[in-house]
Amino acid sequence: MRVAENLNAALHGVLEAHPTTYVIGEDILDPYGGAFKITKGLSSRFPGRVLGTPISEAGITGLAAGLALCGDAAIVEIMFGDFVALAFDPIVNFAAKSGSMYGSRVPMRMVVRCPTGGGRGYGPTHSQSMQKHFIGVPGLSVYEMSPLHDNRAVVGAMLASGEPSVFFEDKVLYTRTMFDVLEPFRYDMVAAGNAGVGVARVFLDDPEAADCVIVAPGGMVERATRAMRALLLEHEVTCCLYVPSRLYPFDIFDDADSPASPGSSLSASPGVQGSGAARLRAGLRAARAVLVVEEGTEGGTWGSEVAHRIHRLMWRELRRPVVQISSADSVIPAATHLESRVLVQESAIYDAVLEALRD
Amino acid sequence: MTESSAVLARPPLPDDGDLDLLLLIRHFELALLDLFGQGRIDGTTHTCLGQEYVPVSLRPLLGETDYVFSNHRGHGHYLARFEDPAGLLAEIMGREGAVCRGVGGSQHIFRDRYMSTGVQGESLPVATGVALHLKNTSPGSLACVYIGDGTWGEGAVYEALNIASLWRLPLLVVVEHNGIAQSTPTARQMAGTVRGRAEAFGARHYRVDTSDVTLIREELAPLVSEVRLENRPLVVEFATQRLGPHSKGDDTRPREVVRDAEAHDWYRRLAQADPRRFARADEAQRARVAALVEEVCARPQSRWDPCA
Other beta carbons within 10 Å of B155 = 12
CATH number, domain of A198, equals 3.40.50.920
Torsion from C-alpha of A329, A334, A336, A342, nearest 10 degrees: 0
What amino acid positions of A are annotated as catalytic residues?
A: 126
pLDDT of amino acid A253: 86
Shortest Cα–Cα distance, B304 to chain A (Å): 7
The Cα A246–Cα B91 span in angstroms is 35
pLDDT of amino acid B12: 75
Q: What residues contact residue B191 under an 8 Å CB cut-off, 6+ apart?
A: none
Which residue range is the domain that position B151 belongs to? Answer: 26-297
Q: How many angstroms separate the Cα of A110 from the Cα of each of A20, A96, A219, B275?
A: 12, 10, 22, 55
Residue A354 lies in a domain: yes
Residue B7 lies in a domain: no
Tell me: do A171 and A194 sit in the same domain. no
Point out the domain boundary residue: A148, A175, A202: A175
Per-residue pLDDT of chain B (308 residues; tens, 9 = 90+): 444 444 555 667 889 899 999 999 999 999 999 999 999 998 888 999 999 999 999 999 999 999 999 999 999 999 999 999 999 999 999 999 999 999 999 999 999 999 999 999 999 999 999 999 999 999 999 999 999 999 999 999 999 999 999 999 999 999 999 999 999 999 999 999 999 999 999 999 999 999 999 999 999 999 999 999 999 999 999 999 999 888 888 888 999 988 999 999 999 999 999 999 999 999 999 999 999 999 999 999 999 988 65
pLDDT of amino acid B83: 96
Tell me: do A216 and A348 sit in the same domain. yes
How many domains would you assign to chain A? 2
Torsion sign over Cα A29, A32, A34, A37: positive
Shortest Cα–Cα distance, B61 to chain A (Å): 21
CB contact under 8 A, A63 and B163: yes
Tell me: do A204 and A137 sit in the same domain. no
Helical (H) or strand (E) element with B238: strand B234-239
Are A219 and A172 in contact, with CB atoms under 8 Å apart?
A: yes
Tell me: do A328 and A192 sit in the same domain. yes
Residue A181 lies in a domain: no
The Cα B308–Cα B300 span in angstroms is 20
Of A63, A93, A100, the CB nearest to B132: A63
DSSP A322-340: PEEEEE-SS---SSHHHHH
Tell me: do A217 and A343 sit in the same domain. yes
pLDDT of amino acid B9: 57
pLDDT of amino acid A256: 62
Using DSSP's 3-state secondary structure scheme, residue A295 falls into strand
Identity at A75, one-letter amino acid code: I
How many domains would you assign to chain B? 1
Phi, psi of B270 (to 5 degrees): -70, -35
pLDDT of amino acid A271: 45
Please report the ipTM that was assigned to this predicted complex.
0.93
Residue A166 lies in a domain: yes
Point out the domain boundary residue: A175, A198, A216: A175
Shortest Cα–Cα distance, B113 to chain A (Å): 9
pLDDT of amino acid A268: 37
List the single best residue of B159, B305, B307 to mutate versus A (max A Cβ within 10 A): B159
CB contact under 8 A, A62 and B103: no
Which residue range is the domain that position A127 belongs to? Answer: 3-175
Predicted confidence (pLDDT) per residue in B86-129, tens digit? 999 999 999 999 999 999 999 999 999 999 999 999 999 999 99
SS3 sequence of A145-200: CCCCCCHHHHHHHHHHCCCCEEEEEEHHHHHCECCCCCCCCEEEEECCCCCCCCEE
pLDDT of amino acid A245: 97
pLDDT averaged per 10 residues in sequence order, chain A, 359 residues: 98 98 98 97 97 98 98 98 98 93 92 97 96 97 98 97 97 97 96 90 96 98 98 98 96 67 40 69 94 98 97 94 98 96 98 93
pLDDT of amino acid B249: 80
